[in-house]
């Protein structure tokens, strides 16, 4: 996403834990780029990203919360520490971002907040991602409520939710507890490359919408799930 937006000559603030990787991405981006080593599980680090971005560029037009980590545990296998970690990475980090940037948007009267969630926050398709999915479901609801809160007084502040399906990154390899083999029949269509998801987010920046599935197959599966939860879950259980 950084490379794509940099190619448009957008000014970028890139934040992550690993400095070497950050600097590598920055070198691959056109335009002005500021890198900040930060752990978004810490509220102070998130506030620092905002403060340094404002000091460098004067204003923020778009803020993307895009931290995520999975776990390979079913509900009854989870420890309290694992559950807390999933909430910290996948939910609270975005809340820190919201608290950091929305007052700036309100002061300006405009802005665009994008929360990257997951298709699994809508459909319980992979039960060993239980805590990850629950944290993303919480993010979905928080995002919708924020959008409703802001709409009457701040119509030019956009709040968007992005729900990818399976993306070909290191996510599965880095999941806590590993990643078991998917049961037969599980999945929400073909996997996507990071570049394909970045294309969707870039288009969303140009034309804000409340929410978007990056994979059309995921949107169709979510529709079928909510149309008849019992029938969907019965069918998924038979496929497992």
CATH number at residue 45: 3.40.50.720
3-state secondary structure 166-223: CECCCHHHHCECCCCCCCCCCCCCCCECHHHHHHHHHHHHHCCCCEEECCHHHHHHHH
Query: How confident is the model over 183-208, as a mean pLDDT?
Result: 83
Is the confidence at residue 238, as pLDDT, over 70?
no
- Residue 127 in domain: yes
Percentage of the chain modeled with pLDDT above 90: 83
- Residue 11 in domain: no
DSSP strand pairing (62-65 vs 111-116): parallel
The tokens for 178 are 């590993």
- Residue 6 in domain: no
- Residue 161 in domain: yes
- Residue 167 in domain: yes
pLDDT tens-digit readout, 141-155 = 999 999 999 999 999
> Please, what is the end-to-end C-alpha distance for the chain in angstroms?
35
Instruction: Give me the domain span that covers residue 152.
Output: 38-239
- Give the residue numbers annotated as catalytic, written as ranges: 132
pTM: 0.93
Number of domains in the chain: 1
Provide φ and ψ at 119, rounded to 5°: -55, -30
| Of residues 21, 18, 41, the one with CA closest to residue 2 | 21
Strands (E), the chain: 12-16, 33-37, 62-65, 111-116, 157-163, 211-213
Predicted confidence at residue 184, as pLDDT, reads: 47
Is 31 or 149 the better-scoring residue by pLDDT?
149
- Residue 86 in domain: yes
**Residue written as tokens 């008849």?**
228
- Residue 62 in domain: yes
- Residue 173 in domain: yes
Residue 224 sits at the vertex; the CA angle it makes with 221 and 229, to the nearest 5 degrees, is: 115
Predicted confidence at residue 185, as pLDDT, reads: 45
């Amino acid at each position: 996403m950084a490379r794509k937006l940099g190619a448009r000559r957008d000014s970028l603030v890139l934040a992550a834990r690993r400095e070497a990787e950050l600097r590598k991405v920055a070198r691959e981006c056109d335009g002005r780029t500021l890198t900040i080593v930060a752990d978004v599980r810490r509220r102070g680090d998130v506030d620092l990203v905002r403060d340094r971005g404002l000091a460098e560029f004067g204003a923020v037009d778009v803020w993307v919360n895009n931290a995520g980590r999975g776990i390979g545990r079913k509900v009854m296998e989870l420890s309290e520490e694992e559950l807390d970690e999933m909430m910290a990475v996948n939910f609270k980090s975005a809340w820190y971002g919201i608290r950091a940037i929305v007052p700036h948007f309100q002061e300006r009267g405009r802005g665009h907040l994008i929360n990257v969630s997951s298709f699994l926050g809508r459909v319980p398709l992979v039960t060993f991602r239980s805590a990850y999915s629950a944290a993303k479901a919480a993010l979905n609801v928080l995002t919708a409520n924020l959008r409703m809160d802001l709409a009457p007084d701040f119509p030019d502040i956009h709040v968007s939710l992005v729900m990818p399906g399976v993306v070909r990154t290191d996510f599965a390899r880095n999941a806590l507890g590993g990643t078991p083999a998917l049961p037969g029949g599980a999945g929400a269509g073909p996997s996507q490359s990071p570049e394909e998801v970045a294309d969707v987010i870039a288009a969303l920046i140009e034309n804000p919408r409340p929410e978007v599935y990056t994979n059309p197959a995921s949107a169709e599966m979510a529709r079928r799930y909510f149309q008849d939860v019992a029938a969907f879950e019965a069918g998924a259980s038979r496929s497992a």
